[in-house]
Structure 1
Amino acid sequence: MRSAVPRALRRAAGRPLGGPGALPTTLQGSRRIAFTKTRGPNPLFFYSGARLSSSTAVQPDHDPERQWSTPLAKQLAEAISATGPVPLASFMRMCLTADVGGYYTGAIEDGRDQFGLKGDFVTSPEISQAFGELVGIWFVAEWMAQGRQTTGVELIEVGPGRGTLMDDMLRTIQNFPAMANSIDAVYMVEASPKLREAQKALLCGPDATMTESKVGYHSICKYMSVPIVWTDTIKSIPNSADKMPLIVAHEFFDALPIHAFQCVDVPATQSHPPEDGDKSSPSSKTSQPTRQWRELLVSPTPPGSNHESLNTPASQSRDTPPPDFQLTVAKAPTRHALYLPESSPRYRGIKSRVGPGALIEICPDAALYAGDFAARIGGSAKHPKPKPCGAALILDYGPGDGSVPTNSLRGIRRHRRVSPFAEPGLTDLSADVDFAGIAESALKASEGVEVHGPVEQAAFLLSMGIQERAEQLVLAAAAKGKDKDGDDGRYAEDVERAWKRLVDRGPGGMGKVYKALAILPENEGRRRPVGFGGDVDV
């Protein structure tokens, strides 16, 4: 595929070879997606070794000596025994962001790093520096296409990981002085104190000071001396009509908590109180057969359970303890089941078209973030914006055909797929991104935006010029004698292996399963952005 990005833009993107984010010699699996996912029309629901049961009662633990796999597992079990089964979203939120023992925010293993070859997964920016450079070029191209605003530009990243992507972006953008001088601030939305510190060390220097304010934590970036601010949520970032937000979300939406629902036919004259004990939720009363959504809830596995009794797949049971938790189907509608599956015609259509056994996953947080992105770019009733401007680029994995994700929850540990219900706090959890849902939420939140994509990551990166950029890296290394091993051929092989993995459309590659989606100011579709079928007019 011919690159739509002019050579001058690609050439300006260079990272010092061998610097932060240099190519690893050995490339293992990418984050959370290094394993084949089973999908299809089979109505039998199977969530990585967890069992489904029609009973929602918490099975009492009569064994006072029961050993939980992690302290967080014990804490979750005690909470569930007091309140009853909890939504899958609540379970995921605790596992990932609990203050004590959460995967990202409260690691219980000293010196643990979730990212990289020694961690649990590898992300695209860690695989090849060209990825982050081309994302930076994409934002430069959008800044140019929207009139080259001279002030008020804000770079915002949600879920920044180690900070590698933003580091590559800023190093690239500084080669375009006019845009670099237009940047007012860089915002990093990060809830983990440990990751926040790692990002500060990379982007500002290990000795840089960090001060706290009502907005968040502040420091000065080593690139362009621009202010950089860390916030816990994107809502903490001021939304001003005169700002041009450039937002990037790479492998962020896949980590947001999901709710899961199953469609059931309810017999006539059946009546049940609300499943979650919420007295404000109406009881389920029927005088004739009806079709309803029932939420899938998380409860502890029975004492003494093993992989065999829980039907854990062999691929997920090797060298791991049995899952501490399992999924059950609620006997009555929860408050989430009453409104989330009814919030979109896409979900309502599945209930009527597919019927009993149909399964869907819904991520309310994804809708909130997509709506926030759109409102910042195009304005909203609460935050009017006379002249929409800005852009959001979302790179993640999930269906690109408009279908609703189902049966996609996965657990990853040490580059291997494990049960998402085993070793809470030590296992990374993620689920497929509903790109159609993100687009729907963005368009609903603001009349001043339009959505492009999703397109396959392979098409996006090839159009941006990843092959040409990789060739430049090899030539630059040869010219400067920068091959650390003194073997130009070895470095060239590493560069080629890295960029080809990012665009490989095969089962082990990232080019097809990963997608790119853009939110831009509404323009009646007259201009396609680069990477989505458009060109750059320099």
Structure 2
Amino acid sequence: MTPLAKHIRDTILATGPISIAKYMQLALTSPVGGYYTRGQVFGRSGDFVTSPEISQMFGEVMAVWYVLHWEMLGRPSKTAFVELGPGRGTLMADMLRASRRFPDFAKSIDSVHFVERSPELRKLQHAKLGCTPESTKYVLDKSAQDTPATALSNTGNIAVHWYDLLEEVKLEPDCVPLVMAHEFFDALPIYKFEKGTGDLWSEILVDVADSKDEAADASSKMGTVVSKLEQGEDACHFKYVRSRNVTANAAFILRDQKFSAMFDKGDHIEVSPESAHTMTLLAEWISANKGMGLVVDYGQDWTQGDTFRGIKSHKFTNPLSSPGSMDLTADVDFSYLRYAAKDKAACFGPVEQGFFLHSMGIQARLQQLLNTTRDASVQKNLVDCYKRLTDPHSMGRIYKVLAILPKDSSVVPIPFTPPKAEELNKPKIEKVVK
């Protein structure tokens, strides 16, 4: 067992089975070997590739969206980019570079603010944005030496700030936030529940397994079948179990009767209260500061039941196997995010990523890049990247884009349409027939 697996095992043995949310939190961010304490997790040499790592076109198109809506909001004189979960900093670097094509907009950018807990990823972001060592101030925590807290980027001499939490981000009173949350919500902890008799819900928990076979058998009994592809060769020291009684999590999170009314005995659902909390903060903040935001992630516009999984070496794998060695993720429930923003901000979408990118001109940008080279291999790579980002059989459909504007805004953002009355801030449910 790895030190992290031993830590999780000891926690369970001391306190009893833990929620999937607790397991995710330990496996991803624990200082004892959590996944995001590592630096090289993105890209072709890592475990997964995000849209900004696939092509510069993605970040360039996103920058154009902010420029257009900066114009629509009256060209505020001072703005700040705020990114949640910025990865290696590639998306922000591309957006800042593309912004320089629009001098008035670029002049308004006062600072960049990253919400990032990982010391290793902060260092990568620091390098990607070309921050100078002499301008850098580091966190005071001796256990995280050389972790940047503030610095100056050589792209426009822009100040860059890092924070552990969204609540810590502080902007000047006259500064308009331009928020980006790209593949951020999918990594936030989820709780999983199973409908019992009447209005009672059991919680699906994580317990210690004596063997790999016991872990697979327990997953099957929970209705959470782990395929042979996901089982892999790694030892699995944990298993899913069903709570014997209604847990405090189930009683609190599922207190709304709509859950019981829409599901039948044996159905599963996944809920992320931390996602709702973060979305509420974002909505209030954007409205209070007359800002704007985009949420880009994979998921659906309804509640789902069995999407929790691990990703390692670009393949799905058993999320309970070798914690700390893989990314853990679940599909985003965009209807839940909209519901969390109810009466606090105006939400538009989600729309599919392919539709969004095409509407914002990615094909024109592709043609520009193709015209800059006669190298057939470079041209083929550009076209392949474009297809991967936009094709409905790749990332074009499963990835969605949600826009957030102030609640009193009269602007309808491009390429969104006003929501229908029956869809406004109303969570939807996916009913899976087993």
Query: TM-score, length-normalised on structure 1?
Result: 0.72
Name the aligned partner's letter for residue 140 of structure 1. V
**Unpaired runs of 5+ in structure 2?**
142-147, 221-225, 419-434
Q: Give 1:229's match in structure 2, choosing from 157, 161, 164.
A: 161
* Offset, 1:241: 4.9
Pair 1:443–1:241, CA change in 2 (3 A): farther
Question: Is the 1:307–1:322 Cα contact (8 Å) retained in structure 2?
Answer: no
> For the Cα contact (< 8 Å) 2:131–2:152, is it kept in 1?
no
* Larger radius of gyration between Structure 1 and Structure 2: 1
The amino acid that maps onto 1:463 is: S
Q: Could you tell me whether the CA contact under 8 Å between 1:120 and 1:413 is conserved in 2?
A: yes
| Equivalent position of 1:362 in the other structure | 271
- 1:85 is displaced (CA, Å) by 0.5
Distance change >3 Å, CA 127–CA 377, structure 1 → 2: same
Q: Which residue number in structure 2 is paired with residue 46 of structure 1?
A: none
SS at match of 2:35: coil
Alignment of 1:483-502 (within 5 A): 488-502=375-389
Rounded Cα–Cα distance in structure 2 between residues aligned with 1:190 and 1:308: 34
Alpha-carbon separation, structure 2, partners of 1:301 and 1:164: 40
Q: Tell me what 1:201 maps to.
A: 127
Post-superposition Cα deviations, 1:232-272, rounded to whole Å, max 9, x if no partner, equal 1111112665331110010010000101111111xxxxxxx
Higher normalized contact order (CA 8 Å, seq sep 6+, divided by chain length): 1
Residue 398 of structure 1 aligns to a residue whose secondary structure is strand
Is contact 2:211-2:236 (8 Å) kept? no
Aligned to 2:423: none
Give secondary structure in 1 for the equivalent of 2:371: helix
| Worse-matched range after superposition: 356-365 or 206-215 | 206-215
Residues of 1 paired with 2:165 and 2:411: CA distance?
32
Q: Could you give the per-residue CA deviations for residues 445-465 of structure 1, whole angstroms, max 9, x where no partner exists? A: x2xx21100000010000011
User: How far is the alpha carbon of 1:175 from its aligned partner?
Assistant: 2.0
2:209 corresponds to which of 283, 301, 307 = 301
Corresponding residue of 2:364: 468
Give the one of 303, 307, 313 matched to 2:227: 313
Structure 1 CA distance for aligned equivalents of residues 134 and 267 of structure 2: 53
Q: Distance in 2 between matches of 1:180 and 1:214?
A: 32
Q: Which residue of 1 is the match for residue 64 of structure 2?
A: 137
Instruction: Please name the residue that 2:180 is paired with.
Output: 248
Post-superposition shift, 1:122?
0.5
In the TM superposition, residue 296 of structure 1 has moved relative to its aligned partner by 1.1
1:416 matched to which residue of 2? 315
- 1:398 Cα shift? 0.6
Aligned 1:98-497 pairs, distance under 5 A = 98-105=30-37, 107=38, 113-151=40-78, 153-205=79-131, 207=133, 209-212=135-138, 217-238=149-170, 241-265=173-197, 290-303=198-211, 305=213, 309=217, 312-318=226-232, 320-342=233-255, 344=256, 348-379=257-288, 389-400=290-301, 403-444=302-343, 446=344, 449-478=345-374, 488-497=375-384
Whole-Å Cα distance in 1 between the matches of residues 216 and 246 of structure 2?
31
Task: Give the aligned residue type for 1:520.
Answer: L
Cα distance in 1 for partners of 2:200, 2:417 equals 42
Task: Name the SS for the 2:356 alignment partner.
Answer: helix
Letter in 2 for 1:122: V
TM superposition shift of 1:307: 7.3
Normalised by the length of structure 2, the TM-score is: 0.89
Shift of 1:205: 4.2
Measured after TM superposition, the shift of residue 517 of structure 1 is 0.1
Asked if 1 retains the 8 angstrom alpha-carbon contact of 2:85 and 2:116, the reply is: yes
Instruction: Tell me which moved more, 365-374 or 89-98.
Output: 365-374
Which one-letter code corresponds to 2:385 in the other structure? A
Q: Quick one: which amino acid aligns to residue 349 of structure 1?
A: K
Once the 2 structures are TM-superposed, how far is the Cα of residue 140 of structure 1 from its aligned partner? 0.9
Distance 1:208 1:497, change over 3 A: farther
Shift of 1:430: 0.3
How far apart are the structure 1 equivalents of 2:184 and 2:44? 20
Gaps of 5+ in 1: 1-67, 266-289, 380-387, 479-487
Contact 2:193 2:202 in 1 (8 A): yes
SS of 2:413's partner is coil
- CA-atom RMSD in angstroms: 2.0
Give me the whole-angstrom Cα distance separating, in 1, the residues matched to 2:216 and 2:51.
36
Correspondence for 2:406 among 521, 527, 532 = 521
Between the two proteins, the alignment pairs up a number of residues equal to 406
Helix, strand or coil for the counterpart of 1:476? coil
In 2, Cα distance between equivalents of 1:231 and 1:350? 35
Deviates more, 1:169-178 or 1:460-469: 169-178
Cα displacement (A) at 1:523:
4.6
Q: Equivalents in 2 of 1:221, 1:84: separation in Å?
A: 47
- Would the alpha carbon gap of residues 492 and 154 (structure 1) be closer, same or farther in structure 2, given more than 3 Å must change? same
- Kindly provide the CA deviation profile for residues 386-413 of structure 1, in whole angstroms up to 9, marking residues without a partner as x: xx5111100001113xx20210001010
Q: Which deviations, in whole Å up to 9, do the C-alpha atoms of 1:39-97 show, x marking residues without a partner?
A: xxxxxxxxxxxxxxxxxxxxxxxxxxxxx2x2211110011000001111000000000
